[in-house]
């Protein structure tokens, strides 16, 4: 399963952005978990990065570690 969450942050830095859809200024975490809920991969980006490109980046990074990954469920 693949999903993303926007998180408010109080500290600055390069990875701070604004998610207009959720009206959050901060960062976004993209998570890949198995069907049991165990964490497989995580990536933290600027909140301004959309879910689809962030999910693609996360899957590309996870593919070498999990070559048998076949089906991925994602929201929307």
What does 23-70 look like in DSSP terms, one character per residue?
Answer: TEEEEEEEEEE-TT--EEEEEEEETTS-HHHHHHHHHHHHTTT-TT--
State how far the Cα of 58 lies from the Cα of 67, in Å rounded to an integer.
14
Q: pTM for the full model?
A: 0.81
Contact call for residues 46 and 64 (beta carbons, < 8 A): no
Give the start-to-end residue ranges of the domains of the chain: 2-65
> 23-44 pLDDT, tens per residue?
888 899 999 999 899 999 999 9
The backbone torsions φ and ψ at residue 20, rounded to the nearest 5 degrees and listed phi first, read: -65, -30
Do residues 31 and 51 lie in contact, with contact meaning Cβ atoms separated by under 8 Å? no
Q: Judge whether residue 65 has pLDDT over 90.
A: yes
Q: For the segment 1-30, what is each residue's pLDDT rounded down to a tens digit?
A: 999 989 888 776 667 888 878 888 889 999
At 46-56, the pLDDT tens digits run 888 898 999 99
């Amino acid at each position: 399963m693949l999903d993303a969450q926007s998180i408010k942050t109080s500290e600055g830095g390069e990875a701070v952005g604004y998610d207009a859809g959720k009206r959050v200024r901060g960062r976004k975490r993209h998570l890949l978990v198995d069907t049991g809920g165990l964490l497989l991969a995580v990536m933290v980006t600027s909140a301004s990065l959309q879910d689809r490109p962030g999910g693609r980046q996360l899957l590309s990074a996870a593919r070498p570690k999990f070559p048998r990954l076949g089906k991925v469920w994602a929201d929307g």
